[in-house]
Structure 1
């Protein structure tokens, strides 16, 4: 099954301190026959931490690629993987948390760099503030999923020094919340979900889904040069209107490409749709400011 694939039997380094190999290794083994191994003696926290003590040095995608490159420092491999995640409230709906996971794959021998992303609403991310002795603290801790999910505690006036250790029991978390609240300027402590993969089963499941997405992309070989990773590089808009045939803003076709030789091919929309609804067509829609005819509610005025 894997005989013709370039990564069959290959060792791939995974830049992680948080056991992400549990999510990443199975898809790569199953789809590519490759062995994903955590990189030894690697401190990925130098490129940023979820708890905020160390900021990311660059945008999320660039930081993810930099993290993958770290694997080559201490591991004799040609290929490396890394992931980065960002979670928090949605701007438009502040009470609904969401996130995005990004995974980078680097093949330094072939000069290949691929980035795959996966937005998700599957997260237990929470950030809440309490005063010392608040009776609702235990309920908030349980709502995050503790003890199966980890938590951080922070002093609201000293967010750069979160408490990560010694939070193994409900009593320890509550006592830490009370202590950090008493030393804060506003009298509040912050409780936040621990989003590190080994302390967050939901995030680990999202990482596994993204790993399958990346492995499937790598499984496709370029029809021209046979390099791995032939896949989506964009799309072209202009799907014709069902009524008049003019181009609309709807996607007309997808474009797959190879990042090694530049070969590209188009493919139809996955839903098989050949035309766009007339309501999305600039030629068929009524001009702005014109409503419906006063003579008939079913006839548009042009």
Structure 2
């Protein structure tokens, strides 16, 4: 059977991602099934279980948990990477992958956003409950959840905390002389609606890629994979880091094509020679 017509997928998840993904795939005509497996064994946001491998490698490993468990031709999973940058600016990068069981071909969609709730504060033994709660003003409790984590991971994290009272109780239960604790957003998908929106965007990107066929073999997943730098400065005509071409690739046959971008010159303000 051609991969074009194999619109049957099993999502491997432990945290309710099907609520976001299933409606999109079913609306596109896919048969969509969900397999609950302990994906936390591949890494947790608390850090109690270290993620080993890149986000793409972990997402593929999650999807492969469906091997031998599902008869669907496609297996699906996702992996998120959340971090806080300068001035506390949050960043979420979500990958959603389809793995074709018979061939091992991987098609991945992605999305990035700064519009996610992400807080994290370290609390010392001398930090009062009032000081701690004052530092959690942006936690959006009630819609989002928090977790208490030991920075040495000597005791399991306590998550799914929805009220300030639950946070205070968990902090007191985990406190011990010399133990450093951190209160942070519980980023598991079913507990973070702002992350859910990014997962939805990545899922839409994946479906868009599956609707794009390779001009050589007609396999689904023909997509932009990288860019070629070297667009020239409008003033000095030297190459810059701005892209001069897009690279489109096929996950099935390996076809690769460069698509040249418009040749207008780069603003000299972005030129490393004119504006070092």
Please indicate the TM-score interval, normalised by the length of the shorter structure. 0.7 to 0.9
SS at match of 2:110: strand
* Deviation of 1:112 (Å): 1.8
Aligned 8 A contact 1:25 1:35 in 2 = no
Aligned partner of 2:159 in structure 1 is 164
* Deviation of 1:76 (Å): 1.4
Aligned partner of 1:63 in structure 2 is 58
* Deviation of 1:69 (Å): 0.9
CA distance in 1, matches of 2:94, 2:199: 7
Post-superposition CA distance 1:25-57 (Å, at most 9, x none): 233233x421332214x1111111111221123
Cα-Cα RMSD: 2.8
Larger radius of gyration between Structure 1 and Structure 2: 1
Which of 192, 195, 198 is the aligned partner of 2:184? 192
> What is the aligned length?
273
Which of 41, 44, 58 is the aligned partner of 2:39? 44
TM-score normalized with structure 2 length: 0.85
Change (3 A) 1:246 1:96: closer
Aligned partner of 1:208 in structure 2 is 200
SS at match of 1:15: strand
* Deviation of 1:95 (Å): 2.8
Aligned partner of 2:230 in structure 1 is 238
Aligned partner of 2:17 in structure 1 is 20
Map 1:22-171 to 2 at 5 A. Answer: 22-30=19-27, 32-40=28-36, 42-90=37-85, 93=86, 95-130=88-123, 131=125, 133-141=128-136, 143-156=138-151, 158=153, 160-164=155-159, 167-171=161-165
CA distance in 2, matches of 1:76, 1:62: 22
Aligned 8 A contact 1:158 1:184 in 2 = no
Aligned 8 A contact 1:156 1:185 in 2 = no
Aligned 8 A contact 2:73 2:100 in 1 = yes
Aligned 8 A contact 1:7 1:33 in 2 = no
* Deviation of 1:136 (Å): 3.2
TM-score normalized with structure 1 length: 0.79
**5+ long unaligned stretches in structure 2:** none
**5+ long unaligned stretches in structure 1:** 289-302
CA distance in 2, matches of 1:189, 1:234: 40
* Deviation of 1:5 (Å): 8.4
SS at match of 1:28: helix
Aligned partner of 2:266 in structure 1 is 276
